[in-house]
Structure 1
Amino acid sequence: MARLNTLLFLIVVALSVVALIDCLLTDRSRLRAFPRGAWVVLVLLCPIAGPIAWFRAGRATSAADVHVTPAPRGPIGPDDDPEFVRMLAESIRNR
């Protein structure tokens, strides 16, 4: 019985360590549901439910789950706007 308890304890510790390392190394854009600090606390305080929750709901596993900031739609600066560059070139030629 002692061997079984030791084995179960080592499995729980290993699961918690792997979940904690994975949580700390996961990119911020792939976190879901809670911020990183909350996940770390959950994994440390709930050694069985915390890692299971992290692997099931804490990180995005597919590209559809990742929150991506959309690219700006218009030109960022005046030199990125082709119409402005064309108008500027014409005004320099007309001097």
Structure 2
Amino acid sequence: MLYFGGLFGLLTLGLWLFCLVDVITTDDGDTRHLPKMAWLLIVLFFPLAGAIVWLVAGKPLRGPVRPRAYERTMPHFPEYDRPGRFAAGDAESDAEFLRRCRERAEEQRSKARKAEGKDGEAR
């Protein structure tokens, strides 16, 4: 019986530490229902109940609940953050890029036509 009590205490301590660190590392505006400081005090002073309530009612759901200030003023497009993304600096570079894209597309079309013709002859 003492073994199960010690195991329960160890699990409670682990859950409490996990939730305590989770509350501390969560952004201020992302918590649900209460401010971050209130959640911190609840989890700190009521270890088991506070940790369970945090997981059920306070922890953010899959990402931020409310957008941050910079996201409200300007939308964020993650495809622009890729390293090595081509961005034309002037109209000539943009025209050259588009010309190369058209050439590459035409080469791919001609290869597909040739492959289609060879397949038609083999049948």
Compute the TM-score of the two structures, normalised by the length of structure 2: 0.52
Q: Which has the higher contact order (CA 8 A, sep 6+)?
A: 1
Return structure 1 stretches of 4+ with deviation > 6 angstroms. Answer: none
Paired residues, number: 71
Instruction: Write the deviation string for residues 4-59 of structure 1: whole angstroms up to 9, x where unpaired.
Output: 11000011111000000000001122111111111111112211111111111112
CA distance in 2, matches of 1:8, 1:62: 29
CA distance in 2, matches of 1:33, 1:2: 38
Show the 5 A alignment for 1:40-59. Answer: 40-59=40-59
Q: Please name the residue that 2:66 is paired with.
A: 67
CA RMSD of aligned residues (A): 1.7
Amino acid at match of 1:41: L
The structure richer in helix per residue is 2
Larger Rg: 2
Gaps of 5+ in 1: 73-95
Gaps of 5+ in 2: 75-123
Compute the TM-score of the two structures, normalised by the length of structure 1: 0.65
